[in-house]
Amino acid sequence: AQKVTQAQTEISVVEKEDVTLDCVYETRDTTYYLFWYKQPPSGELVFLIRRNSFDEQNEISGRYSWNFQKSTSSFNFTITASQVVDSAVYFCALRPPTGANNLFFGTGTRLTVIP
| List of residues contacting another protein (CB under 8 A) | 31-33, 35, 37, 42-47, 50, 52, 91, 93, 95, 97, 99-108
Residue 37 C-beta: closest distance to another protein, Å: 8
- Smaller CB distance to another protein: residue 85 or 100? 100
- Smaller CB distance to another protein: residue 17 or 26? 26
Residue 48 C-beta: closest distance to another protein, Å: 9
Question: Which residues fall within 8 angstroms of residue 75, CB to CB, at 6 or more apart?
Answer: 23, 25, 34, 36, 51, 66, 67, 68, 69, 92
Residue 72 C-beta: closest distance to another protein, Å: 21
Residue of 54, 69, 74, 67 lying closest to 18 (CA atoms): 67
- Smaller CB distance to another protein: residue 37 or 75? 37
Say whether 43 sits in a helix, a strand or coil. Answer: coil
CA–CA separation, 41 vs 107, rounded Å?
A: 16
